[in-house]
Structure 1
Amino acid sequence: MTANVSDSGAGLVAPDTFVVDLREGGQAERTAGFLIRAPRPALIETGGRAGVQAWLEALEQQGVPRDEIAYIILTHIHLDHAAGAGTLARLLPRAQVVVHPRGARHLQDPTRLVQGARTIFGDRLESLFGLPEPVAAERMLTPEDGETLDLGDGHRLRFIGAGGHARHQYMILDEGTGALVTADEAGVRYPALCRRLGRDYLLPSTAPNQFDPELMLQSARRLPQLRPATMLLPHFAATSLSPEEIAERLEEQVPLFVACGQVDGRPAGPEETRRRLAEHIRRDAEAHGLDWAEVEPAVALDLDICAFGIADYLQRRAQGKT
Structure 2
Amino acid sequence: MSQPVDLGFGISLIDLYDLQTAQRTGAYVFREEEVTIIETSASPSIPYLLKGLEALSIDVNDVKNIIVTHIHLDHAGGAGMLLQHCPNARVFVHPKGMRHLVDPSRLIEGAKAVYGESFDALFAPIVPIPEERLIVKEDGETLQIGKNRTLTFLHTPGHANHHFSIYDQKSNGIFTGDTAGVFYPQLLSYGVELYLPSTSPNQFDPEAMRASIERFMKLRPERIYFGHFGMSTHVQGVWEQLLHWLPIFVQTGHEIVNEQKDQSFTEKTEAVFKRLFNIIQTFLRKQQVPDDADVYKLLQLDLQVCAMGLVDYAENKKR
TM-score calculated relative to the size of structure 1: 0.92
For 2:290, the equivalent position in structure 1 comes to 291
Contact 1:41 1:69 survives alignment (8 Å): yes
* Aligned counterpart, 1:79: 73
Query: SS in structure 2 opposite 1:262?
Result: helix
Task: Give SS of 2:7's match.
Answer: strand
The answer as to whether partners of 1:38 and 1:152 remain within 8 angstroms in 2 is: yes
Paired amino acid for 2:238: I
Instruction: Tell whether the 8 Å contact from 1:120 to 1:304 is kept in structure 2 after alignment.
Output: no
Residue 216 of structure 2 is aligned to residue 236 of structure 1: no
The Cα shift of 1:64 comes to 1.2
Secondary structure in 2 aligned to 1:131? coil
Map 1:1-322 → 2, pairs under 5 A: 2=1, 4-5=2-3, 10-196=4-190, 198-242=191-235, 244-263=236-255, 266=258, 269-294=268-293, 295-319=295-319
Deviates more, 1:72-81 or 1:233-242: 233-242
TM-superposed CA distance for 1:29, in Å, is 0.6
Q: Give the TM-score normalised by structure 2.
A: 0.93
Change (3 A) 1:29 1:64: same
2:20 and 2:223 map into 1 onto residues whose CA distance is: 27
1:154 shift after superposition:
1.5
Q: Secondary structure at the match of 2:187?
A: helix
Q: CA offset at residue 81 of structure 1?
A: 0.5
* Equivalent-residue separation in structure 1 for 2:52 and 2:281 (angstroms): 36
Asked if structure 1 preserves the Cα contact closer than 8 Å seen for 2:222 and 2:233, the reply is no
- Say if 1:265 and 1:120 are closer, same or farther in 2 by CA, change over 3 A: closer
Note the alpha carbon deviations across 1:282-311, whole angstroms, 9 max, x for none: 222223332333253231110111011111
C-alpha displacement at 1:249, in angstroms? 1.1
Q: Distance in 2 between matches of 1:133 and 1:123?
A: 19
What is the rounded CA distance, in whole Å, between the counterparts of 1:250 and 1:292 in structure 2? 23
Q: Secondary structure at the match of 2:116?
A: helix
Moved more, 255-264 or 10-19: 255-264
Given the superposition, is the C-alpha separation of residues 237 and 316 from structure 1 closer, same or farther in structure 2, using an over 3 Å criterion?
same
Deviation of the 1:265 alpha carbon = 6.6
Deviation at 1:271, TM superposition (A): 1.8
Does the 8 Å contact 1:52/1:87 carry over to 2? yes
Matched residue SS, 1:291 = coil
Q: CA deviation at 1:267?
A: 7.5
Are the equivalent residues in 1 in contact too, given 2:159–2:179 (CA < 8 A)? yes
Asked if structure 1 preserves the Cα contact closer than 8 Å seen for 2:256 and 2:271, the reply is: no
Paired with 1:281 and 1:292, the residues of 2 have a C-alpha distance of 11
1: CA distance, partners of 2:136 / 2:75: 16
**RMSD (CA atoms):** 1.6
Equivalent residue letter for 2:34: R
Whole-Å Cα distance in 1 between the matches of residues 256 and 224 of structure 2?
A: 38
Q: Structure 1 pair 113/80, CA: closer, same or farther in 2 (3 Å)?
A: same
Mapped partners of 1:272, 1:146: distance in 2: 40
